[in-house]
Structure 1
Amino acid sequence: MIDPSAPLPRPRSDLAEPPDAVPALPGALGVLQGRMLLQVSPARVGYLRGQLDAGRSGLVLCGKNALRKAKKLRGEEQFSGPLLIDPAVYEARAASEKEPFPHASEDTFAFDDPLEVSLAEQRAVGATAPVTPTGYLHAEDSDALKAAVRRVAALDDAQVVFAAPVDVGWLREEDAMRQLIACLRLVKGPKAIMLGGQMDPLARHARAVDHLRRVIEEVPGAALLRTDLAAFGGLAAGAEFTAFGAGSRLRHIVAPGEKAETSKGFSTSPHVLFPKLMDFFLGKTLAERFAGAQAPVCGCAACEGMWALDAFASNEGERPARAAAHNVAVLMEWLRTLTAIAPGLARQRWWHERCRAAVERYPLVNAQLRQPDAFKVPPQLKRWALAAPPSAPHEANGQTTAEDQRRS
Structure 2
Amino acid sequence: MIDPSAPLPRPRSDLTEPPDVPQVLTGALRVLQGRLLLHVSPARVGYFRPQLDAGRSGLVLCGPNALQQARKLRGAEQFGGPLLVDPAVYEVRAASGDEPFPNACEDTFAFDDPLAVSLAEQRAVGVTAPMSPTGYLHAEDSEALKAAVRQVAALDDPQVVFAAPVDVGWLREEDSVRQLIACLRLVPGPKALMLGGQMDPLARHPRSVDHLRRIVAEVPGAALLRTDLAAFGALAAGAAFTAFGAGSRLRHIVAPGEKAKTSKNFSTSPHVLFPELMHFFLGKTLADRFAGAAAPVCGCAVCEGVRALDSFASNAGDRQTRAAAHNVAVLMEWLRTLTALPSGRARQQWWHERCLAAVDRYPLLNAQLLQPNGFKVPPQLKRWALAAPADEAASARADANDYRRS
CA-to-partner distance for each residue in 1:327-365, whole Å, 9 max, x for gaps? Answer: 000000000000011111111111111001100000011
CA-to-partner distance for each residue in 1:2-35, whole Å, 9 max, x for gaps? Answer: 0011121134469xx9765434211000000000
When the two structures are aligned, how many residues end up with a matched partner?
400
**Displacement, 1:115?**
0.6
**Given that residues 89 and 134 in structure 1 are in contact (C-alpha distance below 8 angstroms), is that contact kept between their aligned partners in structure 2?**
yes
Counterpart code for 1:319: R
Matches within 5 A, 1:17-32: 21-32=21-32
Paired with 2:396 and 2:91, the residues of 1 have a C-alpha distance of 48
Partner of 1:282: 282
Q: Aligned pair in 2 of structure 1 residues 225, 20: CA closer, same or farther (>3 Å)?
A: closer
Paired with 1:64 and 1:400, the residues of 2 have a C-alpha distance of 53
CA-to-partner distance for each residue in 1:215-253, whole Å, 9 max, x for gaps? Answer: 010000000000001100000110000000000000000
Partner of 1:180: 180
Matches within 5 A, 1:308-319: 308-319=308-319
Partner of 1:220: 220
Is 2:113 the counterpart of 1:119? no
Paired with 2:40 and 2:168, the residues of 1 have a C-alpha distance of 22
* Stretch deviating more after TM superposition (108-117 or 144-153): 108-117
Counterpart code for 1:236: A
Matches within 5 A, 1:157-306: 157-306=157-306
**Displacement, 1:392?**
6.7
Paired with 1:3 and 1:251, the residues of 2 have a C-alpha distance of 29
CA-to-partner distance for each residue in 1:62-108, whole Å, 9 max, x for gaps? Answer: 00010000001011111100000000000000000000000112222
Q: Aligned pair in 2 of structure 1 residues 271, 398: CA closer, same or farther (>3 Å)?
A: closer
Across the aligned residues of Structure 1 and Structure 2, the Cα RMSD in angstroms comes to: 1.9
Partner of 2:364: 364
Structure 1 residue ranges, 4+ long, deviating more than 4 angstroms after superposition: 17-20
Paired with 2:23 and 2:90, the residues of 1 have a C-alpha distance of 30
**Given that residues 18 and 344 in structure 1 are in contact (C-alpha distance below 8 angstroms), is that contact kept between their aligned partners in structure 2?**
no
Gaps of 5+ in 2: none
Counterpart code for 1:352: H
Partner of 2:134: 134
Q: Aligned pair in 2 of structure 1 residues 270, 8: CA closer, same or farther (>3 Å)?
A: same
**Displacement, 1:301?**
0.5
Paired with 2:128 and 2:5, the residues of 1 have a C-alpha distance of 37
**Given that residues 171 and 208 in structure 2 are in contact (C-alpha distance below 8 angstroms), is that contact kept between their aligned partners in structure 1?**
yes
Paired with 1:20 and 1:175, the residues of 2 have a C-alpha distance of 19
Paired with 2:141 and 2:19, the residues of 1 have a C-alpha distance of 29
SS at match of 2:359: helix
SS at match of 1:391: helix
**Given that residues 233 and 351 in structure 2 are in contact (C-alpha distance below 8 angstroms), is that contact kept between their aligned partners in structure 1?**
yes
Counterpart code for 1:391: D
**Given that residues 22 and 239 in structure 2 are in contact (C-alpha distance below 8 angstroms), is that contact kept between their aligned partners in structure 1?**
no
**Given that residues 168 and 196 in structure 1 are in contact (C-alpha distance below 8 angstroms), is that contact kept between their aligned partners in structure 2?**
yes
Paired with 1:373 and 1:68, the residues of 2 have a C-alpha distance of 46
* Stretch deviating more after TM superposition (279-288 or 110-119): 110-119
Counterpart code for 1:180: L
Paired with 2:192 and 2:223, the residues of 1 have a C-alpha distance of 5
CA-to-partner distance for each residue in 1:140-161, whole Å, 9 max, x for gaps? Answer: 0000000000000000000000
* Stretch deviating more after TM superposition (4-13 or 18-27): 18-27
Paired with 1:306 and 1:229, the residues of 2 have a C-alpha distance of 25
Q: Aligned pair in 2 of structure 1 residues 397, 361: CA closer, same or farther (>3 Å)?
A: closer
Counterpart code for 2:362: Y
Paired with 1:66 and 1:18, the residues of 2 have a C-alpha distance of 38
SS at match of 2:49: helix
TM-score (norm 2): 0.95
Paired with 2:242 and 2:278, the residues of 1 have a C-alpha distance of 18
Counterpart code for 1:198: Q
Is 2:129 the counterpart of 1:153? no
* Stretch deviating more after TM superposition (175-184 or 342-351): 342-351
Is 2:77 the counterpart of 1:77? yes
SS at match of 1:286: helix
Q: Aligned pair in 2 of structure 1 residues 5, 18: CA closer, same or farther (>3 Å)?
A: closer
Counterpart code for 2:213: R
Partner of 2:37: 37
Counterpart code for 1:151: Q
**Given that residues 194 and 252 in structure 1 are in contact (C-alpha distance below 8 angstroms), is that contact kept between their aligned partners in structure 2?**
yes
Partner of 1:323: 323
CA-to-partner distance for each residue in 1:376-407, whole Å, 9 max, x for gaps? Answer: 000000010011111279x9499479x99xxx
Partner of 1:341: 341
Paired with 1:372 and 1:12, the residues of 2 have a C-alpha distance of 47
Counterpart code for 1:315: N
Paired with 1:68 and 1:396, the residues of 2 have a C-alpha distance of 52
SS at match of 2:225: strand
**Displacement, 1:109?**
1.3
Counterpart code for 1:374: G
